Amino acid sequence: MSAGGADTLWVEETLKAAALASAARLLGLFYSKELPALLGLDAPSGGRGVRNRTVLTTVGEVTYTRAYTAASGGGHRFPLDEALGITEGCTPAMASMMSWAGARFDSYDIAGEALGRLAGLEVPGRRVQRMVNTVAEREAAWIAKRATDKAAGGILNLQADMTGIPMRPEELVSVKGHDGGDPKKRQIKAGAVFRQEENADGEIQRIPDSTTRVVTFDDVTSFSQMLMDEAVRRGYNSADKVVFTSDGAEWIWLMVADRFKGAVEIVDFYHAAEHLGALCSLAEPDKRKAADLFKKRRRIMLNWGAESAIRYFMAIPEDHANKKAIEDGLGYFINNRKRMRYREFREKGYFIGSGVIEGTCKCLVNQRTDLGGQRWLRSGSLNVLRIRAAIIDNLHDRYWKTAGKITRSAA
């Protein structure tokens, strides 16, 4: 402070620090006195004495006193620590915040910096990383065992795809690179499940916040089981209709035929349009004419599906310079003709685009794991993506509310 002015930044930071210090003292008293009494742990059977412990909380470092007993295998047990669920020296509330930051920010170092600037907590990036790797598996296990949705009927949508994550060299042994070159990435599989229902106006729409996701480096068999398990939790067995939308990759349709029999199969219209554009460029070397042809044929395909493209391009004269390439390109439409009945699908309210899984690959996976200079181990990348998926799917906070709730009987 000075005559004629004031450092408001200093004032706010000083008051904030004082408030956090007061909160830390109160929390330390609560953990030392009130909580042990509530849980019946203030004088545990076989108690040998008390010791102090300092842990990191959302209001800063907190020191509390707790009783200890002899452990069956030697050493000491601290029943209050166990009841609190102290993880990596942090309370559940802090573990939730730290893992959230590690998953949401571009790097662990930036996550640590953000915790300092926004919450007044000094947390090195390495500590954030350790927390993510410690809690990810147990959080994923809780999510995998949660109760099945009560919703019934409607349309249940499933989508799947793969995307690449840049890996450290030891993770790329035996991995084949693009066109036989040196590999830089390893493919991770992603799946998405969401629901559609009819609204008050009779329109079939995607239910807001109804999407959940799975990610794994496992083989197709394991991935398909993960996706099926998630679909069952989301109402697979009670849905009026199950729809599976994909870009047309063969491995996906083989998986659908094996694991999701009876689902309506749809090739994403926008991927089909890309293939259609390639055919138009082969049929019309002139770029302007090719663009005009594509615009026309795309509109027709939207209404009449793959058959319209097959008939048109099959009728191109045999002496056309690109006839063989056009016939080869038509294989995509011939193999997927039943999955491209776009007018019929739209009339029934089915989505003909796979934007949900495309967004999952880009926003969930690539925006966190495919940034400049990043090189991952499979375990580390999967851990951060598990938490990232839980956050996006509104399951992260639900898990930590469960993990942070303790009762006398549980303790």
Mean pLDDT, rounded, for 60-67: 96
- Answer yes or no: is pLDDT of 389 > 70: yes
Encoded tokens for 211: 């999407």
Residue 254: pLDDT band (50, 70, 90) is very high
Q: pLDDT band at residue 371, thresholds of 50, 70 and 90?
A: very high
Specify the pLDDT at position 248: 85
Closest CA to 142 of 407, 341, 337, 395: 395
- Cα-based distances in Å from 121 to 17, 60, 116, 388: 10, 6, 4, 22
Of residues 126, 128, 70, 75, the one with CA closest to residue 99: 128
Mean pLDDT to the nearest integer, 242-271? 96
- pLDDT band at 37; cut points 50, 70, 90: very high
Q: What is the token pair recorded at 375?
A: 């090189």
| Confidence class for position 179, pLDDT limits 50, 70, 90 | low
3-state secondary structure 145-204: CCCCCCCCCCEEEEEEEEEEEEECHHHCCCCCCHHHCCCCEEEEEEEEEEEEEECCCCCE
Cα 304 from chain centroid?
35
| pLDDT band (50, 70, 90) for residue 47 | confident
* pLDDT of 85: 94
Alpha-carbon separation of residue 214 from 13, 87, 158, 191, 250 (angstroms): 41, 25, 11, 5, 20
Q: Is the pLDDT of residue 409 over 70?
A: no
Question: What are φ and ψ of residue 208, in 5° steps?
Answer: -55, 140
**What pLDDT score does 324 carry?**
96
Contact 162/187 with Cβ under 8 angstroms? yes
At 2 the pLDDT is 61
- What percent of the chain is modeled with pLDDT above 90? 84
Written as one letter, the residue type at 72 is S
For residues 5 and 269, what is the distance between their CA atoms, to the nearest angstrom? 63
Q: Note if the pTM is more than 0.75.
A: yes
pLDDT at position 383, please? 98
d(CA 373, CA 375): 7
| Separation between Cα atoms, residue 79 and residue 76, nearest integer Å | 10
pLDDT in tens, 304-338: 999 999 999 999 999 999 999 999 999 999 999 99
Tokens 């019934």 found at: 152
Exposure string (b/e) for 143-164, b if CB count within 10 Å is 16 or more? beeeeebeeeebbbbbbbbbbb
Which two structure tokens, joined as six digits, stand for 44?
């545990």
Taking 60 as the threshold, does the pLDDT of residue 411 lie above it? no
Residue 178 has pLDDT above 90, yes or no: no
DSSP string, 363-396: IIIIHHHSSTT--B-HHHHHHHHHHHHHHHTT-H
Q: What is the mean pLDDT of the chain?
A: 93
Domain residue limits, the chain: 8-143+395-403, 153-263+357-392, 270-339
Nearest to 30 by CA among 79, 65, 82: 65
pLDDT of the residue at 208: 85
Q: Is 213 helix (H, G, I), strand (E, B) or coil?
A: strand
